[in-house]
Structure formats: structure tokens, C-alpha cells
Amino acid sequence: MGTLAGHPYVSRAEWAARAPTSAFFPMPSLPTPRLWIHHTGTEQHGARALRDIQRYHQVTKRWKDIAYNFLVDDDGTIYEGRGAGIAGGATAGDNTRAHALCLLGNFENRPVTAAAWRATVDLARHGRDRGWWKPTCGGHLDAPGASTDCPGRYLYARLADLRHEIVSGPAPTPALIEEEPPEMPDVRLLDCAGRPALLFGAGDPKRLNAAQRGAIRALDIVGETIDTATHDALASLIPLPVVPRVDVDEAMIATALAPGLTAALIAAIPGVTDLATTDDVEDRFRQVLTAVFGAAAAGATG
């Protein structure tokens, strides 16, 4: 057993992980904008719990591997999941844009232990310093399109503290750790599949000044999902991130499976925007290609 971020660290080999059922996808770029926090929702602990979670994800959910990048147990032990820089399977619609950290336990029913909390904070800081993710985090229930109570009410109530602790220590790039104040909740924009995609929100490291934040409040869109016209009007007032017309997950996989496909062609294929994760997409995408382009095109992807 080694250490990571000053805590006991159990590698995949040490907890006897099975091999992934197919190759991992690397993150398109690092650091990722966010770190999503999850809980397992059960009171299984230790290496056996990791094996049970992996079996459930691979056999029942038909994902390629355990969905999380890292996991933290009650005693402060950190477990390797997919590891840093690898697309996960735990946060549908955001798996290639964010890492996932899962705490073992059901935090709808009880608080997080002191040891698990310290390990979570230290791992979050370590990932910030290593350039794995930016110093901001959110609960799974805050993810675009999520319908869940994960990570449980007790853990979710402490995420503001976690965000504060992540940025309270020295960071190699201080310009990236400016946080929006708590009174600036999420603003979302519908993506190409009609789902609300996060545009910006509390805790995101944005460079918005007081006048720009005032303009957002004046438009009365705080906490709302806005339309494309409002987005375009807002873009003249403040710097906005580009909201892709094709979800990064599907675009990345599609181009890997069928080189030469453009984003426009991908968006035009029926069903592509319904694909949710990097783990369930390959077989369904081949079916779509077969229906649209014929068996030869689908066969060429393999």
C-alpha cells in the first residue's frame, strides 16, 4: 500500500480490480473544469466494496469499469478507480469534462467521518496542484441533466466548505481560483439535445467583475435556463464559454470510431444526441451508423 495526498492509497492491483472491458478514453484536456462529488449510497467498505461496485458497473450497468476516478473510505483510505485524466462513467453528459470522486457510504443518512473528510480535501487539493482539475467542485445532483439525490444531504451540505478548503491553500496558478460569490447560482443553456448544460455557476473559476455580475442579475436569469437568443445577447456583455452543438462525449467517440465525420454530420445522425455516457455508446453508435449509412459504414468503424 502506498500513499496519495498524505493518505493510505490502494491501487487497482491491490484491491484486485478486474480489467476494463474495453479501452479507456483519455480526457480531451487537463485540468478539467470541475470535480464532481458522489457517494455510493450503501454502507459497504474496504476492497471488497470496490470489487462489488466494479462488478455492478460492468455486469449490471454494462459500463467498461468502475465509474469513478477515485474513491475515499470512512477511514481516510483513498482507492484508485479509473485514475486521473481518464473519462469516467458516473456523471452522464459530463464524463469527459470532469473527474468523479466518490465517498463510500450513504450520506443521506449520516455525516461524513472526519478521516474521510480530511482525505477528500487533501485529494482535491492534490489534484488541483497536479493539474488534474481546477479548484472547484459540485455534487452529482448539480450536474447537467442529473436526477439524483447523490451525494446525500449530509455530504452535499458540506460542499461549500470543501470548495473553500480546496482554494484556501497555495496553488500553482492563483489566477484560476477566483470563485463566484455564493449569490451567483447556476445559469444554464439548452444544448443540442434540449438538455440544460451548465453555462456558469457559483464556484466556477470565472473572471467576471462586479459590473458583469450586475449585468447578469439585471437580466433576471440567475438560476434559470436561458435560450440561445439570450445567450447571444449576454455574450456582448460578458465572456461566455462556447456551448458545443454536439456533446463532447459523442463527438469524441464518433470521430474515433469513424474518422472523417464532422460535427455537423454527427449532429444530423438520428439518436446521437440521446447517447449519455462514454461507456454505453459504442454498440448504439454502430447501430445508428448501420441505420443511416448501411452495414459497410458501421463495419468500417471496427
Per-residue pLDDT tens over the stretch 82-111? 999 999 888 877 888 899 999 999 999 999
Q: What is the pLDDT of residue 53?
A: 96
Q: What is the pLDDT of residue 180?
A: 38
Q: What is the pLDDT of residue 128?
A: 92
- pLDDT (mean) for 202-226: 59
Q: What is the pLDDT of residue 1?
A: 79
**And the C-alpha cell for 171?**
496553488
Per-residue pLDDT tens over the stretch 259-276? 555 555 555 555 554 444
Q: What is the pLDDT of residue 81?
A: 96
Local structure of 108: helix, strand or coil = coil
Task: Kindly tell me if the per-residue pLDDT of 295 is higher than 70.
Answer: no
Query: What whole-number percentage of the chain has pLDDT above 90?
Result: 39
Q: What is the pLDDT of residue 257?
A: 52
Considering the entire predicted model, what is its pTM? 0.58
| Helix or strand holding residue 199 (H, E) | strand 196-200
Alpha-carbon distance of 102 to 174, in angstroms, equals 26
